[in-house]
Amino acid sequence: MAAVELAVSELAGGQSLLNDLLSRTTSTRLIRHLDTAANVYPRRHKKVISSNSLLSGISGKGRRRSSARLLLPASRAPLLPGIIILNARYFPDSEFSAAKVGATSFAFSAMDVLQEAGLFAGMILYKRDESIGLPRLMMPTKTSFPCVTLAFNFDMDWMTIRDAISNAAERLTIATYGTRIKSILYHQTDILLAYNPDWLPSCVTHHGPFHDDFASHFSAEEAAVAFGSCEKAEHLKTHQRIGLKHLRSAKNMFVLQHSSLQRNYLLRHHVEPSRIQKLSPPINIERLPRLPLASTHPDIVKFMNAKSSLLLFTAVARLDFFKNIELLVDASVELLGQGRTVRVLVAGDDEDENHKREELLTRVPDELKSEFMIIPKLSKDSLYALFDEVNDSGIFVCTSRYETLGITPLEAGLSGVPTVIVDSPTVEASAYYPKEYRFEGSIAGLTDLVQGFQDSGMTGRGRYLRGSIEEHISHEKFRKSMLDAWRVFSIAAYESKGGKKVKQTWVFKKMGS
């Protein structure tokens, strides 16, 4: 039977991605994969690589015995499929459920880009289970895409965890493409970096703060508060340091960097700049369908319209030390005490986690409590519907102490909502905001800015801010930066195969049997 072989000059031993794909998978799946991939690459080579040209003569009548050679520069070599690795606790209950954390929203944006390019092989969801002695793999059926759940704990032999990850990746590529294919493992934290199989290329986005960096800006005591406890902070610090060590030493491990804050920390800790690829923030306001806010959250609309007041609002996944929502509450109490007509809406934490919402309300005098509405976190579609409703009649307020990015305030600004943000080098999103939309991180700083907005008028502020942010952020910019980085990772993986670097030319060769 005829086969299609990808030959790489000076590559000693081992099959390539495409060789394995072409020799094992079905023609139907292969055609779909190759046609999708062909659309990803600019067609500047002499002959267009397509499923028809690659598959003609593989099977059926009239198979070709002659050899045809198609040259493809290494810079246009096929991109490897991607597998996203995410903490199972952060996996949403449904497509439009509220994001558990910022990494959830980010990971699903990356998934969308890979899916559009025909490069998404599935997702590995990991969770700790102290009751088992060996890693356990399960394939849940509730997802609309291939997914493997990996249960493990840190007392296990590291090689068993490594092999389980490799096994999970193999299961996913077989489920998606009908065959085993080398894939890029995309980590959303450094927890599993040390267990990444060295024969599989990988990359990581550090969504959460680095403990050591946070402690350097604040203190070890505040870090313990921010991360939940001294024990959690120490655990995080230990595994982040292990992950950094592995990142520096591994041959095919890279960083998809969404934050200059994170990049600077990595460079200070001797991660090679060539391993870091910058990503534009993943925000796509227009594509998400949503119902009017009045049909899903009439109580919010009623609260907003009860008085002719300026709405100050914020929405976070978690009400924690990082978000510093106390500043918004305290500043709002101050504004109301000065006779300013404002109302305050805060959304955060799961529905069954009431204690932090209750703590925030204790900061409000009884006679002012009617001006505050503090509710559980909103789903993505409800949040965007809120942005649609507010327009220039409110201000989204970001009071964070530390943000490696800050997607929600950027979403608000790109939705045309006047948005203000703490002016701080430890809040990455603030770099995208004009100076007049940033405030000193204090009660006085926030109240002064709100008063200035009220006194000079709100009309047009959201539109101006949106135009300013759009110069730097869009879904297309994210898609392009993601695929450009993926191409770099794929080429590096090909070049390092077998431990020898290859020439910058790829040869697709049809061979009869």
pLDDT digits (tens, 9 = 90+) for 450-478: 999 999 999 999 999 999 999 999 989 99
For residues 414 and 310, membership in a common domain is answered with: yes
Order of strands across the sheet with 310-315?
372-375, 342-347, 310-315, 394-398, 419-422, 438-439
φ/ψ (deg, to 5) at 238: -60, -50
Per-position b or e across 38-62, b if 16+ CB within 10 A of its CB = bebbeeeeeeebbbebbbbbbeeee
CA atoms within 13 A on the CB side of 71: 8
Window from 151-160, 259-268, 495-504 with minimum mean pLDDT: 495-504
For residues 230 and 204, membership in a common domain is answered with: yes
Q: What pLDDT does 283 receive?
A: 86
Contact assessment for residue 289 and residue 379, using Cβ atoms and an 8 Å cutoff: no
47 within some domain: yes
Tens digits of residue pLDDT in 402-422: 999 999 999 999 999 999 999
Q: pTM for this structure?
A: 0.77
For residues 409 and 464, membership in a common domain is answered with: yes
For residues 100 and 247, membership in a common domain is answered with: yes
For residues 218 and 106, membership in a common domain is answered with: yes
Tens digits of residue pLDDT in 471-495: 999 989 999 999 999 999 999 888 7
Compute the distance between CA of residue 327 and CA of residue 139 in angstroms, rounded to an integer. 44
32 within some domain: yes
Compute the distance between CA of residue 440 and CA of residue 426 in angstroms, rounded to an integer. 13
Compute the distance between CA of residue 416 and CA of residue 119 in angstroms, rounded to an integer. 33
Window from 137-151, 210-224, 292-306, 424-438 with minimum mean pLDDT: 137-151
Contact assessment for residue 281 and residue 407, using Cβ atoms and an 8 Å cutoff: yes
Q: What is the CATH number of the domain that holds 374?
A: 3.40.50.2000
214 within some domain: yes
Per-position b or e across 280-319, b if 16+ CB within 10 A of its CB = bbbbbbeeeebeebeebbeebbebbeeeebbbbbbbbbbb
Torsion, CA 86, CA 91, CA 95, CA 101, rounded to 10: -90
For residues 154 and 176, membership in a common domain is answered with: yes
Q: Which residue type does 114 have?
A: L
Compute the distance between CA of residue 499 and CA of residue 502 in angstroms, rounded to an integer. 10
Q: What pLDDT does 503 receive?
A: 34
What domain range is 446 assigned to?
293-470
Contact assessment for residue 114 and residue 82, using Cβ atoms and an 8 Å cutoff: yes
Which residues lie across from 43 on neighbouring strands? none
Q: What pLDDT does 199 receive?
A: 93
Contact assessment for residue 260 and residue 431, using Cβ atoms and an 8 Å cutoff: yes
Compute the distance between CA of residue 55 and CA of residue 30 in angstroms, rounded to an integer. 9
Compute the distance between CA of residue 258 and CA of residue 481 in angstroms, rounded to an integer. 10
For residue 238, the surrounding DSSP H or E stretch is helix 230-249
385 within some domain: yes
Q: What pLDDT does 93 receive?
A: 65
Nearest to 197 by CA among 131, 245, 246: 246
197 within some domain: yes
Burial of 225 (0-12, 13-18, 19+ CB in 10 A): middle
Q: How many domains does the chain have?
A: 3
Per-residue pLDDT band at 92 (split at 50, 70, 90) = confident
| Both structure tokens of 195 | 């267990």
Burial of 245 (0-12, 13-18, 19+ CB in 10 A): middle
- Specify the long-range contacts of residues 433-436, CB closer than 8 Å, at least 24 apart: 433/465, 433/468, 433/469, 434/465, 434/468
Which residues lie across from 136 on neighbouring strands? 151
Cα dihedral sign for 42, 45, 48, 54? negative
For residues 206 and 271, membership in a common domain is answered with: yes
232 within some domain: yes
Contact assessment for residue 380 and residue 96, using Cβ atoms and an 8 Å cutoff: yes
Compute the distance between CA of residue 75 and CA of residue 507 in angstroms, rounded to an integer. 13
Contact assessment for residue 191 and residue 126, using Cβ atoms and an 8 Å cutoff: yes
Cβ within 8 Å of residue 284, ≥6 positions away: 109, 475, 478
Q: What pLDDT does 501 receive?
A: 37
Per-residue pLDDT band at 78 (split at 50, 70, 90) = confident
DSSP state of 254: E
For residues 29 and 178, membership in a common domain is answered with: no
For residues 10 and 150, membership in a common domain is answered with: no
Per-residue pLDDT band at 99 (split at 50, 70, 90) = low
Name the residue with higher pLDDT: 402 or 9: 402
C-alpha distance across the termini of the chain, in Å? 6
Tens digits of residue pLDDT in 22-53: 444 443 444 444 444 444 433 333 333 333 33
| Both structure tokens of 331 | 């500043």
For residues 21 and 43, membership in a common domain is answered with: yes
Compute the distance between CA of residue 362 and CA of residue 274 in angstroms, rounded to an integer. 50
- Backbone torsion region of residue 349, taken as left when φ is above 0, otherwise alpha when ψ lies between -120 and 50, otherwise beta: left
Looking at residues 150-164, what average pLDDT do you find? Answer: 96
Looking at residues 135-158, what average pLDDT do you find? Answer: 90
| Both structure tokens of 69 | 């050679």
498 within some domain: no
For residues 330 and 451, membership in a common domain is answered with: yes
Window from 104-108, 207-211, 374-378 with minimum mean pLDDT: 104-108
pLDDT of 10 > 70? The answer is: no
Angle of helix 298-305 relative to helix 380-390, nearest 10 degrees, comes to 20
499 within some domain: no
pLDDT of 398 > 90? The answer is: yes
For residues 161 and 259, membership in a common domain is answered with: yes
Order of strands across the sheet with 253-257?
136-138, 147-152, 120-128, 82-87, 184-187, 202-204, 253-257, 276-278
